[in-house]
């Protein structure tokens, strides 16, 4: 299920590259949640395999041991691929979103997902007393609420060039060139960010 959701989030994130019909402004609003969620999900799935590999006996008699016991090798491959996916999504998030929004949101979503996995999937709260379990749940919800409440400086500016009003004259040609490359025909050269 996790891999299907991750694949759907990756397809949504790359819809502009796939030339789907989502308009740029709608895509930016969706990306505020889809990119951090995909990053957190990739990290959470990687941690599941990372934890599980500790309980699997490594193969003996290498390299033929990988063929006789493919479960361990499959986990290593899954950890590597999910780690690379997480790295790629972190780089993409730093490019496409304000860092002050992406990093806390992806971290809070990743920790919330890991928390959900530990409680629901792995049942790690079975032996915990009620006070500690309540404090843990409260802390996880506060982290998630804090991430949801983060507002970017101006949502409409996500993915657009920022121009300092003092540098507008020398940069105007570069901004116009970037707009033409993107295929953005709207004129927002009067937009000033302070």
Across 95-122, average pLDDT? 82
Tell me how crowded residue 84 is: count the other CB atoms within 10 A of its CB.
12
Residue 31: pLDDT over 60 = yes
- State the pLDDT confidence band at 84, using cuts at 50, 70 and 90: very high
Q: CA 9 from chain center: how many Å?
A: 9
- Average pLDDT over every residue of 6-11: 86
pLDDT at 59: 81
pLDDT of residue 172: 60
Residue ranges in 98-167 assigned as alpha helix (H): 99-116, 130-149
Q: Stretch 53-82: mean pLDDT, rounded?
A: 84
Q: Are 38 and 2 in contact (CB under 8 A)?
A: no
State the Cα–Cα distance between residues 61 and 64, nearest whole angstrom. 6
pLDDT surpasses 80 at 86 = yes
User: Is 158:122 a contact under the CB 8 Å cutoff?
Assistant: no
């Amino acid at each position: 299920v996790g891999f299907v959701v991750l694949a759907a989030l990756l397809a949504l994130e790359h819809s502009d590259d796939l030339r789907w019909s989502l308009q740029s402004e709608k895509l930016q609003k969706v990306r505020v949640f889809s990119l951090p969620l995909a990053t957190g999900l990739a990290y959470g799935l990687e941690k599941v395999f990372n934890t599980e590999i500790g309980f699997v006996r490594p193969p003996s008699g290498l390299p033929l041991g990988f063929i006789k016991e493919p479960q361990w090798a499959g986990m290593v491959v899954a950890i590597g691929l999910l780690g690379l996916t997480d790295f790629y999504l972190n780089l993409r998030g730093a490019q496409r979103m304000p860092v002050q929004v992406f990093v806390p949101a992806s971290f809070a979503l990743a920790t919330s997902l890991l928390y959900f996995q530990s409680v629901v999937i792995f049942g790690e709260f079975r032996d915990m007393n009620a006070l500690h379990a309540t404090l843990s749940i409260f802390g996880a919800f506060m982290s998630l609420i804090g991430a949801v409440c983060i507002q970017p400086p101006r949502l409409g500016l996500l993915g657009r060039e920022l121009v300092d009003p003092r540098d507008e004259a020398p940069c105007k040609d570069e901004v116009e060139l970037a707009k033409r490359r993107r295929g953005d025909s709207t004129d927002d050269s009067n937009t000033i960010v302070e």
